[in-house]
Amino acid sequence: MRWKAGRHDGSIPDSLRARAVVSARLTCHGVGGADGELRFRARGRLSTNKNNDPVPFSPDAALDLTPEADQILRALRRITQSITIQSKQLYRKSGLTVPQLLCLRAISAARSVDVTAAEISRQVRLSPATVTGIIDRLERYGLVQRKRFAHDRRKVGLRLTVEGRERLATMPRPLQERFVRGLNELDEPDRMSLLRALQQVVDMLEATQLDVAPILTSGNVKKSTPEL
């Protein structure tokens, strides 16, 4: 496969032209003979296929949306926007992020000073280092109290303060809990079908290598949501 620079032929709308100007010459075995060639010119960027071969990006492809693709893309946008909106609303109402609220609820559910940061880490599925940082902030806010065990001074237990219990009682349930409740109401075949479909979406979005926690939250909830 060979690539060389070329002039744009003017067939692509100006609003969709990319910065790079690419001319492609593809050798097509089995099409017009082994030496047959397909020539075209397009402004776009180079991507790669599954064989890591460079392929041209055609801006025209962005306009080729089937009704199903249109609805799928809209559904993905609704999901991401819903998570962002819910995260920001929670922060405005409580001053806490979703992970902080989940840790607070986990400590409250333990109903014992014997619960440790390691146990909270397992319950909320966050790393011990992340949970330790969250507990530090909740302690500074006056919502959580640390106390060393009398029988083992090396271990530190966690419990809510009076203010922590009062704040928690007025906080809304996070989107995550409502979603999991609805998910558990589905039959197992429906849950597995949904899982397979979402795994395909993750693969198509090239996100399989991302290491994420099972928490529905956005990034920086202090930033305003950009307009499109």
- Cα separation, 172 vs 102, in Å, equals 11
Which CATH number is 150's domain given? 1.10.10.10
Domain that holds residue 191: 175-209
Are residues 31 and 16 both part of a single domain? yes
For the chain, how many structural domains are there in total? 3
Are residues 167 and 179 both part of a single domain? no
User: Would you tell me how many other CB atoms lie within 10 Å of the CB of residue 106?
Assistant: 19
Contact 98, 87 (CB under 8 A): yes
Are residues 157 and 100 both part of a single domain? yes
pTM of the predicted structure, to 2 decimals:
0.63
- The string of pLDDT tens digits covering residues 66-101 is 999 999 999 999 999 999 999 999 998 888 999 999
Q: Give all strands (DSSP E) within 49-143, no chain letters.
A: 54-56
Residue 144's SS3 state is: strand
Are residues 166 and 126 both part of a single domain? yes
- Classify residue 42 by burial, with Cβ atoms within 10 Å: 0-12, 13-18, 19+: buried
Are residues 164 and 102 both part of a single domain? yes
**Domain boundary at 43, 63, 83, which?**
63
Q: Pick the more confident residue, 104 or 1.
A: 104
Are residues 139 and 185 both part of a single domain? no
Contact 90, 98 (CB under 8 A): yes
Q: Is the dihedral of CA 69, 75, 76, 78 positive or negative?
A: positive
* Domain annotation covers residue 57: yes
Are residues 204 and 184 both part of a single domain? yes
Percentage of the chain beyond pLDDT 70 is: 65
* Domain annotation covers residue 44: yes
